[in-house]
């Protein structure tokens, strides 16, 4: 058993940071909440009830992998994701701009650094808004300025009534509740 007795509540405006050692179950818990991995037991209640509708209509899950197509440009990747998530194409360039990724919007993803790829992937949060953000190690591969930017975006999202569950080994530097998974003891 990876974990048991975990209870996470996210209300509008909430930020919960999920911490713990590697292998403690942070990514697994987030994938279960997102509906991407099955749970052995227990429930996932979204919007006050058992989740029977598609969680992707109201949450963003950002995992370890960016989910970008290497042959496509940063803009093409974000435009595709935005259309898939029901966003507007007009939101693509402003999202890339906000994430500091506009200057490489027309470059194929295969030539981007890990930090640049992370910025492009995280731009989906802004291009196709969702009230709940599940972010698994969003600060990985980012420089200090990028880490501070992501912390600001999460803080702004929560201040506007959104909610965020952020798995991280690095402090975000913003106020929120913490949930620590211990892993195997």
Confirm whether 135 is domain-assigned: yes
Confirm whether 77 is domain-assigned: yes
For residue 146, the enclosing domain spans 15-180
Confirm whether 5 is domain-assigned: no
Provide the phi-psi class of 68: left if phi over 0, else alpha when psi is between -120 and 50, else beta: beta
Confirm whether 164 is domain-assigned: yes
Whose CA is closest to 14, among 181, 178, 174, 176?
176
Contact 133, 163 (CB under 8 A): yes
Distance CA 49, CA 152 (A): 31
Q: What is the pLDDT of residue 49?
A: 46
Residue 63 CA, distance from chain mean position: 6
* Number of domains forming the structure of the chain: 1
pLDDT in tens, the chain (185 residues): 677 788 888 999 999 999 999 989 999 999 999 889 988 887 777 665 444 566 777 899 999 889 999 999 999 999 999 999 989 999 999 999 999 999 999 999 999 999 999 999 999 999 999 999 999 999 999 999 999 999 999 999 999 999 999 999 999 999 999 999 987 65
Confirm whether 1 is domain-assigned: no
Confirm whether 3 is domain-assigned: no
List phi, psi (to 5°) of 5: 65, 25
Q: What is the pLDDT of residue 184?
A: 63
Distance CA 101, CA 48 (A): 37
- The CATH number of residue 55's host domain is 3.40.50.300
Angle (CA) 104 113 111, round 5°: 60
Distance CA 122, CA 60 (A): 10
Residue 20 CA, distance from chain mean position: 18
């Amino acid at each position: 058993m990876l974990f048991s007795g975990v209870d996470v509540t996210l209300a509008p405006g909430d930020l919960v940071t999920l911490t713990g050692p590697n292998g403690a179950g942070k990514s697994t818990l987030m994938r279960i909440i997102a509906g991407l991995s099955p749970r052995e037991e227990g429930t996932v209640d979204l919007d006050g009830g058992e989740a029977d509708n598609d969680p992707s209509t109201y949450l963003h899950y950002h995992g370890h992998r960016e989910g970008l197509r290497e042959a496509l440009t940063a803009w093409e990747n974000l435009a595709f994701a935005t259309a898939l998530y029901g966003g507007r194409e007009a939101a693509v360039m402003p999202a890339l701009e906000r994430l500091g990724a506009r200057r490489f919007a027309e470059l194929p993803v295969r030539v981007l650094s890990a930090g640049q790829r992370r910025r492009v992937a995280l731009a989906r949060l802004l291009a196709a808004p969702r009230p709940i953000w599940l972010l698994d190690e969003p600060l990985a591969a980012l420089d200090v300025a990028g880490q501070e930017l992501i912390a600001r975006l999460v803080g702004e999202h929560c201040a506007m009534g959104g909610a965020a569950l952020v798995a991280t080994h690095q402090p975000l530097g913003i106020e929120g509740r913490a949930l620590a998974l211990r892993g195997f003891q």
